């Protein structure tokens, strides 16, 4: 999956938007309601990667099952995972597309705006 395909997929979520707070090399996918990041998509050493928030136990499980899932690069290693994809249009990741979409959904749900309590 390419960087643009990942960004376009993330933009299908309600109130998601694309931001570039660092530079034009890494896209930050955010919620409009609270501006929280749910994905960081970029390229490093010729490979596309996506950082996703994850519950700690699930994060450990995914790291043990998939070689392409590692502790979050430049992120909190307990709560974030990095999924490394292949270079260009090839996909060297061992994470099936359906599982990657589930991981994106999980990250989106963990960071979405909540309802304020009175």
- Domains of the chain with bracketed CATH: 3-111 (3.90.1150.30)
Predicted TM-score of the model (pTM): 0.89
pLDDT tens-digit series, residues 69-112: 999 888 888 899 999 986 544 445 889 999 999 999 999 999 99
Distance CA 56, CA 63 (A): 11
Query: Residue range 35-50: average pLDDT?
Result: 92
Contact between 63 and 84 under an 8 Å Cβ cutoff? The reply is: no
How do 16-19 and 27-31 pair as beta strands? antiparallel
If we measure between CA atoms, which residue out of 33, 35, 28 comes closest to residue 10? Answer: 28
| CA separation, residue 39 to residues 70, 89, 95, 110, 118 (Å) | 15, 20, 16, 11, 30
């Amino acid at each position: 999956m390419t960087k643009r395909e990942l960004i376009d997929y993330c933009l299908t979520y309600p109130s998601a938007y694309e931001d570039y707070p660092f530079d034009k090399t890494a896209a930050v996918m955010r919620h409009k309601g609270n501006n929280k990041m749910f994905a960081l998509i970029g390229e490093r050493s010729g490979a596309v990667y996506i950082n996703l928030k994850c519950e700690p136990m699930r994060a450990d499980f995914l790291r043990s099952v998939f070689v392409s899932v590692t502790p979050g690069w430049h992120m909190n290693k307990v709560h974030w995972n990095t999924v490394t994809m292949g270079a260009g249009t090839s996909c060297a990741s061992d994470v099936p597309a359906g599982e990657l979409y589930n991981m994106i959904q999980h990250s989106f749900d963990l960071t979405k705006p909540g309802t304020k309590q009175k």
